[in-house]
Structure 1
Amino acid sequence: MITPLQPGDKVAIIATARKIDREAVEQAIQVLQEWGLEVEVGPTVGAKYGVFAGHDALRLQDLQQALDRPDIKAIICARGGYGTTRILDQVDFSRFQQQPKWVVGFSDITSLLCHIHSLGIESIHGIMPLLFPSGTDKALDSLRRVLFGEEVYYEVGPHPFNRSGTGQGQLIGGNLALLHNVSGTRSDFTTKGKILFLEDVDEYLYNIDRMMVHLSRAGKLRDLAGLIIGHFSDMKDNADPFGKTVYEIIAEHTAKYNYPVCYGFPTGHEPDNLALVCGREAKLEVSELGVNLAYTLNSNKA
């Protein structure tokens, strides 16, 4: 069980993927301090090795120490990009399993969240320090509420692509490209009876279709309790158009199932990126009036 944060707790900001300057996390440090937290910035923040926040060994060491140290109560990944999967199989999660703590991130960090989910531990898909300056107040407050164990309840307006219904199960998901990337690895995830959420950025429409085909062929769309479609930002098309929008692509691959589906949920690569608890039991209600998503944040059902 993950203990909610308390004022005075220490949290670590580390970079497991793409490089990031120290100046880019200063506003996040200030916000976290305003929440009453002590902030420690790892050596990967400001480190550079090609596109990465330091070489693999440094990023592995920074993540490992943050997982192992009992005085660090939460790990907040500074940004996404690419690089987390390069070190994931070398991480020792044994101490983390004995004393779980919040791990926060999205985008490339989806792979780490999936791995944590496979261990039966919750994690937070939410806004990262690089994006604190552009994040909405609602996105930032949702992260704070989850970290400190406060109740969270989301209401979203209707969308013409929505499919009505009610489903209940653990939340799991994240960036579609990374969910596709971890398939067949030690970080793979099961979806039966769960509420899956998807988001992505800067992808070609044909590749979205290819990844949805893969999820379908792998059986990951078949037995869901519900499906949440978040932001699909900056989608691209070829000179010869694919012929469908991203929502039309997803609707086609889920049309044969009966579970509720909602579109346009505020999660992903946009300023309004609400914190979602991966591994937490949730209830999704979709109707003509809109969408409700609720879970009991002190349940820690993983």
Structure 2
Amino acid sequence: MRRTVIVIVLLCLTGVVVAQQGQVMPPYLKAGDTIAVVSPSSSPDSATVARGCATLRGWGYVPVVGPHALKSYHGFAGTADERAADLLWALGDPSVRAVMCSRGGDGAVQVLKRISLEVFAQHPKWLIGFSDATALHSAVVAAGGMSIHGSMCDGISMRGERDSVNIIMRRLLEGRLPRYEVPSHPYDQQGEAKGILVGGNLSVFCGLAGSDYDFLNRADEGLILFMEDTHESMTKVDRMLHQLEIRGVLSKLKGIIVGHFSKYKYPENDFADMYEMLHEYLQHYDIPVCYDFPVGHHSQQNLPMVEGCVVHMRVTREGTQIEFTNTF
């Protein structure tokens, strides 16, 4: 695997809530603010949650664990009603300024049907997580908001105080948007684009197709899509790409960021790896495409990505630049 070099430029933003291209940016955080830790998906390990809370306290925040966040019910963190109640509490309580998922797994989609899009729209707060939390990110963006695709309790607690990813997350919560630079990949498709960033776990957001919670319903507005996945075969990923094509999504995208695909069986269908299969498919679209971007499961970095935010994407022979901005 190639060594990824990241150059970070932090852009300081002012203001509390900024509207851009119809999206509402939640208020940024300051020392002493409360972050709710909830478990909308699988049941977490209590020790991991405790370590994550300790990390948040080290950042100067006050973590509060949801009433049902440590429960276990058939592998989930409580019943769907209990998990939804925790998320509704975190969104509705004015003393809570941000919401972090304890872990991913499965089950967030069960929570969505118990929470209307209006709730996400009426209570703009930074919601942090990835993997199964992609379902929540999709709902937030569909409701006109923004959220942070990034590490949860286990991820932030495993990284040191000076870890670059933790530093990016902390400064992002404080109001400074990142700019990423990564080396080129042989399958990169050069070009430049600007659009609203959406994405996350491919199988999760494809599972929301046709629902009100699907951020890809906004494909006509100019989206840049990032995708990652784990434990999915090339055949299943191929099927999901065809689903996106048949829906007319791929032909409307301004750019694609291919993150990490891990723990799948290969070779398969004569492809050496997942990236070769994806390249065979995506090369027919005349848009910039970046491969092996450090985001997703089992990525050493899993860089924070601001969903619903405008990004400027530039893919050249030297590498890829992804710059988050507050203007179109």
TM-score when normalising by structure 1 = 0.94
Asked whether the 8 Å contact 1:22–1:45 carries over to 2, the reply is: no
Structure 2 residue aligned with 1:242: 269
Structure 1 residue aligned with 2:23: none
Question: How far is the alpha carbon of 1:22 from its aligned partner?
Answer: 1.7
Structure 1 residue aligned with 2:113: 89
State how 1:41-56 maps to structure 2 within 5 Å. 41-56=65-80
1:19 aligns with 2:40: no
Question: How far is the alpha carbon of 1:96 from its aligned partner?
Answer: 4.2
**1:32-51: CA deviation from partner (whole Å, max 9, x where unpaired):** 11111011011233200011
> Could you tell me how far apart the structure 2 residues matched to 1:213 and 1:250 are?
11
Counterpart of 1:252 (choices 257, 277, 280) is 280
Structure 2 residue aligned with 1:160: 186
Q: How many residues align?
A: 297
> Could you tell me how far apart the structure 2 residues matched to 1:134 and 1:286 are?
31
Question: Given residue 98 of structure 2, which amino acid in structure 1 is its aligned partner?
Answer: A
Question: How far is the alpha carbon of 1:287 from its aligned partner?
Answer: 0.4
> Could you tell me how far apart the structure 1 residues matched to 2:138 and 2:280 are?
26
> Could you tell me how far apart the structure 1 residues matched to 2:288 and 2:119 are?
38
The residue matched to 2:293 in structure 1 has which SS? coil
Question: Given residue 172 of structure 1, which amino acid in structure 2 is its aligned partner?
Answer: V
**For the structure 1 residues 187 and 300, does the alpha-carbon distance in structure 2 shift closer, same or farther, using more than 3 Å as the test?**
farther
> Could you tell me how far apart the structure 2 residues matched to 1:9 and 1:143 are?
15
> Could you tell me how far apart the structure 2 residues matched to 1:217 and 1:96 are?
29
1:113 aligns with 2:111: no
State how 1:111-150 maps to structure 2 within 5 Å. 111-135=135-159, 137-150=163-176
1:232 aligns with 2:258: no
Structure 1 residue aligned with 2:22: none
Question: Given residue 281 of structure 1, which amino acid in structure 2 is its aligned partner?
Answer: V
1:286 aligns with 2:312: no
**For the structure 1 residues 151 and 180, does the alpha-carbon distance in structure 2 shift closer, same or farther, using more than 3 Å as the test?**
closer
TM-score when normalising by structure 2 = 0.87
**1:145-168: CA deviation from partner (whole Å, max 9, x where unpaired):** 221111311111111010111000
Question: How far is the alpha carbon of 1:251 from its aligned partner?
Answer: 1.4
Counterpart of 1:205 (choices 234, 245, 264) is 234
The residue matched to 2:321 in structure 1 has which SS? strand
Unpaired stretches in structure 1, ≥5 consecutive residues: none
Q: Once superposed, which parts of structure 1, at least 4 consecutive aligned residues long, lie more than 6 Å away?
A: none
> Could you tell me how far apart the structure 2 residues matched to 1:135 and 1:252 are?
36
Greater displacement, 229-238 / 205-214: 229-238
Structure 1 residue aligned with 2:101: 77
Structure 2 residue aligned with 1:261: 289
Structure 1 residue aligned with 2:197: 171
State how 1:32-71 maps to structure 2 within 5 Å. 32-71=56-95
Asked whether the 8 Å contact 2:108–2:132 carries over to 1, the reply is: yes
> Could you tell me how far apart the structure 1 residues matched to 2:143 and 2:49 are?
29
Question: Given residue 28 of structure 1, which amino acid in structure 2 is its aligned partner?
Answer: G
Asked whether the 8 Å contact 1:103–1:124 carries over to 2, the reply is: yes
Question: How far is the alpha carbon of 1:144 from its aligned partner?
Answer: 1.3
Question: Given residue 111 of structure 1, which amino acid in structure 2 is its aligned partner?
Answer: A
The residue matched to 1:186 in structure 2 has which SS? coil
Question: Given residue 284 of structure 2, which amino acid in structure 1 is its aligned partner?
Answer: K
**For the structure 1 residues 300 and 67, does the alpha-carbon distance in structure 2 shift closer, same or farther, using more than 3 Å as the test?**
farther
Structure 2 residue aligned with 1:184: 210
> Could you tell me how far apart the structure 2 residues matched to 1:272 and 1:282 are?
19
**For the structure 1 residues 182 and 20, does the alpha-carbon distance in structure 2 shift closer, same or farther, using more than 3 Å as the test?**
same
- Quote the RMSD (CA, aligned, Å): 1.6
Identity %: 35
**1:200-255: CA deviation from partner (whole Å, max 9, x where unpaired):** 011111111111111111111112111100011111248xx322221122112222
Question: Given residue 154 of structure 1, which amino acid in structure 2 is its aligned partner?
Answer: Y
